[in-house]
A and B are shown apart, each in its own frame.
Chain A
Amino acid sequence: MSEKMEVQLAVVGGGPAGLAAALTASRLGIGVLLIDENKELGGQLIKQTHKFFGSHRHMASVRGIEIANRLKNDIKGDPNITVFIDTTAVGYYENGELLLYQKSPEEKLVSCFPKAVIFATGARENMLAFPGTDLPGVYGAGAVQTLMNVYGVLPARKILMVGSGNIGLIVSYQLLQAGTEVAAIVEILPRIGGYIVHASKVRRYGVPILTRHTIIEARGKEWVEEAVIARVGEDFKPVKGTERVLEVDAVCLAVGLSPIVELVRHAGVYTPYISELGGLVPWHDDDMRTNLPNVFVAGDLAGIEEATTAMLEGELAALSAAEYFEIKSDEIDGMRRDRKARLEELRASRFSEKVKKGLQKLVAKKPK
């Protein structure tokens, strides 16, 4: 049996998008229930030891962990926000019921019928298929960061990094800082995916970044003992005779993320497939409204980007929720314009071309 609870706005996910959404909604007088599956709020920010780039207004040169602490402190003192941590939103049904499984302090189900919901459920890591892909020791890049930066456990002695986007480069650098040897970074594309400043940092440690290379096999009896890499041709297929065996005890996959869409799909949100945004993604407009009038989305769920854009999207989603609750003011209109302008500014670099293309495709997919 489940306990019942009255909720005006539920925010599912306490990462950067969800935290920003909850704080903005609360400031506009909306009662918020913020739900997160982890024991600590902050999402992936709590493992990000690197300093942020981007606009100065948006916490450039501040570390992710510090951003998480600031947001968490603001949430703590906010009387309009109820926080459920260690709680999983397990279902969102056609009748508007959001079902929560609370693990602590007492294991129970909680049922609520929020008048509106902002989903900020984030993303999960992509897998890459190769023989031995399921061996222990093949880790997602986020998992490596969690082990090393949240729990202080060395993930491996010697690792192969697959993917040279910013995540692959930054995690390689953090591994080196922690004392793990990075055998190589392989990148299937002809050029490095991430910022040159991150690439230079790992190169200074003598780590080779091999473009047009990929992993073709992980070998080992019970866990990874070797990884086989090879050069790829124009068709991205491994070229025979270029295989090389690396003695490593782990392989780290930094090959992208996919939005976690199960809950929004429960709700009936339309989720077209847009590869530039990470795969299946909830349809939304530039105010983070979905095809359902009382459901909004933000952050990586709405298309894979990064924490600064996630926070802006969270704020926009909260402004749209306010509109749904018929809360109006000049201040809200001003905030909306400002957040959109900042998003545009952040997406101006060539690294955002893919996302912008994806967002254009999303506009074209507008449901009738």
Chain B
Amino acid sequence: MERLKDHPILDFERGEKVIFYFEGKPIEGYTNETIAAALHAAGIKVFSYSPKKKRPRGFFCAVGKCSSCLMVVDGRPNVRTCMEYVRPGIHVRRQRGLEKLKGTEE
């Protein structure tokens, strides 16, 4: 997809342009946008694969309620990427099912 340039009503305060990583690849994002919005702007729609049937999942509610956009951010699973903002240098990857929380490995 793309970022809107001209809008009849709105001016967007995107913040600072920074680089973060999606599955190891550098992605451009802005500090006032969520990870989900930045990925969407980069054309990335699949955020995770479901636990049982491994079906692709993406963004749905954008208010942190549906769990459809959970991803692994800097090694931490279950991050709601529609609520978490872009920070420079973070590593984001698709979550595959229910990944283990840090410190819970047996």
Instruction: Tell me if A's interface is mostly helix, strand, loop or mixed.
Output: loop
Q: Is the CB of A138 within 8 A of B9?
A: no
Using CB atoms, name the residue of chain B closest to A37.
Answer: B64
Q: Which residue of B lies closest to A135 (CB)?
A: B56
Q: By the criterion CB–CB under 8 Å, are A152 and B57 in contact?
A: no
Q: How far is it, in angstroms, between the C-alpha of A135 and the C-alpha of B27 when the chains are bound?
A: 23
- Residues of the A chain whose Cβ atoms lie less than 8 Å from the Cβ of B9: 49, 63, 177
User: Per-position contact with A for B63-92: 1 when CB-CB < 8 Å, else 0?
Assistant: 111101000000000000011010000000
Are B1 and A124 closer than 8 Å at their CB atoms? no
For residue A335, CB closer than 8 A to chain B, the reply is no
Give Cα distance in the complex from A155 to B37, angstroms: 9
For the A-B complex, the count of residue pairs with Cβ-Cβ distances under 8 Å equals: 105
What is the size, in residues, of chain B's interface with A at 8 Å between Cβ atoms? 35
Cα distance A37–B47 when bound, in Å?
22
Across the interface, name the chain A residue whose C-beta is closest to B41. Answer: A153
A122 to B65 Cα, complex, angstroms: 11
Residue of A nearest to B44 (CB): A136
Contacts of B85 in A (CB 8 A): 39
Contact of A49 among B10, B40, B57 (CB under 8 A): B10
7 closest Cβ contacts across the A-B interface?
A136-B58, A143-B62, A152-B12, A151-B37, A146-B62, A136-B45, A124-B65
Residues in chain B within 8 A of chain A (CB atoms): 1-4, 7-10, 12, 14, 33-34, 37, 40-41, 45-47, 50, 55-66, 68, 82-83, 85
28 A–B pairs (Cβ distance < 8 Å), ordered by A? A49-B9, A63-B9, A124-B63, A124-B65, A125-B60, A125-B61, A127-B66, A134-B55, A136-B46, A136-B58, A137-B58, A142-B63, A143-B59, A143-B61, A143-B63, A146-B62, A148-B4, A149-B10, A151-B33, A152-B3, A153-B33, A153-B37, A154-B1, A154-B4, A157-B1, A177-B9, A223-B45, A223-B58
Give me the interface of A with B, judged by CB distance under 8 Å.
37-39, 49, 63, 65, 122, 124-125, 127, 134-140, 142-143, 146-157, 177-179, 222-223, 260
